[in-house]
Amino acid sequence: MPGKKTAPDFADCLVPHSPKQSFLSKVDEVIDWRPIEKQLKKQYWRTQNAIGNAAYPALPMFKALLLQRWYELSDAALEESLYDRVSFIRFCGFQMSGPRPDETTICRFRSALREVKLYERLFKTLNQQLEAGGLLVKSGAIVDATLVESQRRPTKIIEVEPEDEDDVDQATAQARVFYSDDTEANWTVKMGRPHYDYKRHMAVDSRNGFILGGHVTSASRSDMNELESTLEDADLKAGTLVMADKGYCSRANRERLSRLGHYDGIMHKTARGRALDPEQKEFNRTISKLRYQVERAFGTLKRDYGFRRARYLGQAKLEVEFFLNAFCFNVKKAVRLVS
């Protein structure tokens, strides 16, 4: 039964293990899944599925979601892979001859975790484990933001409504303009081009480039206003050097870093009628050379995880996508560091 913890069956014993160590077997060596499983059991208590049968254990289902991100699979493709890829079956802990979740079950499990707001807590549990193991060292943090395309293409729709029910005069009617059914995205301009997008704010550690935290806003939200909340997501200790580009340069942000007890690594920008002095220029060059870790992280998320465009509709689902991708990113980085 899927609701019980699976143990190897006869079919499992017949299928030989590969003599070459795979990425997924390395993941199981590096990551202790017990704290993750404990967190899942604490918050996710469903014992039955939608039709009343015993539900699949939460940890195998969560590991299936990680496979989906690492290999860029749709729900349907993940369902198929859980039946024909031995490495996937073993990584999740399903039996070779036993039942496995279909695409609807996968979708419902992902939604259920979103409803109990569990993704960020699972991500933080992972980072605590990496930090305790000496892989994640928060000697410095780099903050930045990048655009993520909305799942819907913007289409301009104008709705005209009378000011009251008896008013049929179009001259006094009120017009409402919608650009997409993804109403939580918004417009911004980058490199002279308009974008109807979201914005992903993120902090990474300056030593190895692990993702420390982040969140999602509409694209119109200014980077300058998101520094403090991004640092809260990163859970930094006092005395950490925080680096950021000129988009975060403001007196208010420098005062925030001082209040939080962090070292100020925000690049300077010129003001009207006042050029940068040589010391400020040298400071900018130094910070610019150290910021490559966050740019590399953004590039990897977009290239390897398809995170240049939202897979789902709405800010809440996009934030789930961010934490799943960040979890997978950090696990993969940890495996590479110890290999």
Amino acid at 52: G
Please, which residues bridge with residue 216 across strands? Answer: 200
User: How far, in Å, CA of 110 to CA of 123, rounded?
Assistant: 15
* 71 contacts 81 by C-beta, under 8 angstroms: yes
Longest dimension (CA), the chain: 78
Which pLDDT score is estimated for 233?
86
Tell whether pTM > 0.75.
Answer: yes
Report the 10 Å Cβ neighbour count for 305.
Answer: 20
Q: Is the pLDDT of residue 141 over 90?
A: yes
53-57, 68-72, 104-108, 321-325 — which is least confidently predicted? 53-57
CATH architecture of the domain with range 136-153+181-338: 2-Layer Sandwich (3.30)
pLDDT bracket for residue 110 (50, 70, 90): very high
Which pLDDT score is estimated for 2?
41
Query: Mean pLDDT throughout 58-68?
Result: 96
- In the chain, the percentage of residues whose pLDDT exceeds 90 is 65
Please, which residues bridge with residue 193 across strands? Answer: 190
User: How far, in Å, CA of 23 to CA of 328, rounded?
Assistant: 12
Question: Helix 315-338 vs helix 119-132: angle between axes, to the nearest 10 degrees?
Answer: 20
Taken in order 36, 295, 209, 201, is the CA torsion positive or negative? negative
* pLDDT, tens digit (0-9, with 9 covering 90-100), for 254-289: 999 999 999 999 999 998 878 899 999 999 999 999
User: How far, in Å, CA of 255 to CA of 234, rounded?
Assistant: 18
Angle at alpha carbon of residue 333, lines to 37 and 209, rounded to 5°: 115
pLDDT bracket for residue 315 (50, 70, 90): very high
Burial 88-109 (b: 16+ CB within 10 A, else e): bbbbbbbbbeeebbeeebbebb
pLDDT bracket for residue 243 (50, 70, 90): very high
State CA 248 to chain mean position distance: 22
Which phi and psi angles does 263 have, rounded to 5°? -80, 140
Taken in order 74, 79, 84, 89, is the CA torsion positive or negative? positive
Question: For the chain, which residues make up each domain, given as ranges?
Answer: 10-116, 136-153+181-338
Query: Mean pLDDT throughout 39-48?
Result: 75
User: How far, in Å, CA of 262 to CA of 82, rounded?
Assistant: 46
Q: Is the pLDDT of residue 57 over 60?
A: yes
Residues 6+ apart with CB under 8 A from 281: none
Q: Is the pLDDT of residue 10 over 50?
A: no
Query: Mean pLDDT throughout 215-244?
Result: 93
What length is written for the chain? 339
* 259 contacts 232 by C-beta, under 8 angstroms: no
Which pLDDT score is estimated for 13?
47
pLDDT bracket for residue 96 (50, 70, 90): confident
Angle at alpha carbon of residue 162, lines to 161 and 163, rounded to 5°: 115
Query: How far separated are the first and last CA of the chain, in Å rounded?
Result: 36
Amino acid at 257: L
Residues 6+ apart with CB under 8 A from 143: 201, 202, 203, 227, 230, 231, 242, 243, 244, 248, 294
